[in-house]
Structure 1
């Protein structure tokens, strides 16, 4: 039991930045309404799934391919020294929008937008031209939203279960988050998501900074007990990438010569083990359900 408890604490530290249950998920039990999403939503199904572990890796890989988005991370983020802290902050934002009441979701997005106000500077675009950037530029916010949505959808479709209403419903529901973050006209179905992503193809580029991100994501500073499982999840994320993204990132689907490795099966096994360690329902969802019951929205 002590070994299991210790492993659970290590997992909690990786995802939240503390080895104790943090307070912020418990705060989702407070609030005055049901939030933007509920138990029957596609968003709860996807974001409550262990496939988010794969999706997070995939999203960060793809997001790094936009030189403007990467410039902001490179210039203002301590991601090289505090990769897990950045992960914990991203998880907190996702879960606040997913499980908080509408006031908490809006406040969480406003907090991120305020932090973005100082993130501005210059970069060289994919064609070698000098450009300026602001983290709150609607075009960059759109890219981040598209890469995020596509990653979470792809991971759930590859390694998760059925999505209520299918992919179109998830894309349409998560457009709420885009609106809260100031993204105009976000995609409302999977076809629009693909079209909007393709519109960025000419703006994406590889380079030293991208290689640095890939190297960090390949081997982040994790406890020894998590490293093998993480390598499998990384391979699972790479396996879901479109070939055009893999080429830019310099990544290949793991194989022994011409024979692909059983990445899908291995990824599902690791996700099942992590679910066993963390429990069937996360504290954010549990707190949101308590709020909804208190408000008489659910039985």
Structure 2
């Protein structure tokens, strides 16, 4: 069992983090409160620290984001997700973990990297409209679709006693909004009600382009090994259940509610628990907690 646990943990670390957790991003400097200056066990920590919720929510976010034709055009014309999907996953995971759990400097550095990349991503969508990745409206869309999906993933797969209350859901969205604003987003939703209104307001602009449908097909077949394809398939099916019904319809995904409830979600829950068992206590969380403990002690001593 020890060999199996180590094998799964190594594969998970290699796929999500490239094999190197870069713990110095989270452990130093001692006493630094981090970019978001939020306490451990706050809603953002809980949501972003839950593997099953984040993986299923991440797949749901990619599908939901793809329904914006301009955002999808940028990904289709500039991203290397087809040739290096694992690299894309690692960069996204590193950005989220660093901005949530990392030091202030580490978070600012990854934000600056993304800002520089965004200035180079521009072009013309198939419908003739120009786009640029640093457009504040597109940044708000990408962020909101992402964190909304992360939140739904957490609420679906966290133990019932650990799920967020409505007030904590609002706190989560308020805590992560500064990251989007640092990237250049405007009018970022800071509560569940605001996010729900925002998504409803965006609905007329959203539809599945051929590129969006291609992304879904690609994600469903993703995996470098048979074992990886099985895990991705389970998580993708779970992600389908996190999407709003209209998004499933747009993406031409027809999966009966009974299948989603009695097969997809239980399978993802079991798979997620196996991944969490193999990973064990998060080294990233431990490093960040130790760094921030000094900040809390200093504040209490004043």
Which TM-score applies when normalising by structure 2? 0.89
Corresponding residue for residue 233 of structure 2 = 231
- 1:70 match: 72
Task: Kindly indicate whether residue 220 of structure 2 is the aligned counterpart of residue 218 of structure 1.
Answer: yes
**Counterpart Cα distance in 2 of 1:17 and 1:23:** 8
Residue deviations 1:126-181 (CA, integer Å, cap 9, x gap) = xxxx2101100001101101101110111111111322642111111111212211
Q: 1:261-280 to 2 correspondence within 5 Å?
A: 261-279=262-280
Residue 251 (structure 1) aligned to one of 250, 253, 261: 253
Q: Could you say which residue in structure 2 is the equivalent of 1:89? A: 91
The more displaced of 184-193 and 33-42 is 33-42
Aligned partner of 2:205 among 184, 203, 206: 203
Shift of 1:38: 2.1
Classify the secondary structure of the residue corresponding to 1:199. Answer: helix
Q: Does the 8 A contact of 1:253 with 1:260 survive in 2?
A: no
Moved over 3 A (4+): 258-261, 294-299
**Structure 1 residues 182, 255: closer, same or farther in 2, change over 3 A?**
closer
Q: For residue 254 of structure 1, report the CA deviation from its aligned partner.
A: 5.0
CA contact 1:34–1:297 (8 Å) conserved in 2: no
Check the 8 A contact 1:7/1:225 in 2, yes or no: no
Q: Which moved more, 1:205-214 or 1:4-13?
A: 4-13
Match of 2:14 in 1: 13
Measured after TM superposition, the shift of residue 72 of structure 1 is 1.1
8 Å contact from structure 1 (residues 10, 223) kept in 2: no
Aligned-residue Cα RMSD (Å) equals 2.1
CA 1:159/1:23 → structure 2, altered by over 3 Å: closer, same or farther?
Answer: closer
Matched, 1:48 2:49: yes
Alignment match, 2:180? 178
C-alpha distance in 2, partners of 1:207/1:7? Answer: 36
In structure 2, the partner of 1:290 is 290
1:191 paired residue number:
193
Separation in structure 2 between the aligned mates of residue 25 and residue 12 of structure 1, nearest angstrom:
13
What is residue 118 of structure 2 aligned with on the other side? 116
Q: Does 284-293 or 74-83 show the bigger shift?
A: 284-293
What's the CA shift for 1:260?
Answer: 5.9
Match of 2:39 in 1: 38
Equivalences, count: 290
Distance 1:205 1:220 in 2: 23
TM-score, normalised by the number of residues in structure 1: 0.90
Would the aligned equivalents of 1:54 and 1:236 in 2 still touch at CA under 8 Å? Answer: yes
1-structure distance, mates of 2:43, 2:14: 27
1:121 is paired with a residue of what secondary structure? strand
1:55 is displaced (CA, Å) by 0.7
- The alignment status of 1:29 with 2:20, answered yes or no, reads no
Unaligned residue ranges in structure 2 (runs of 5+): none
1:85 and 1:10 map into 2 onto residues whose CA distance is 14
Question: Among 137, 151, 156, which residue is 2:135 paired with?
Answer: 137
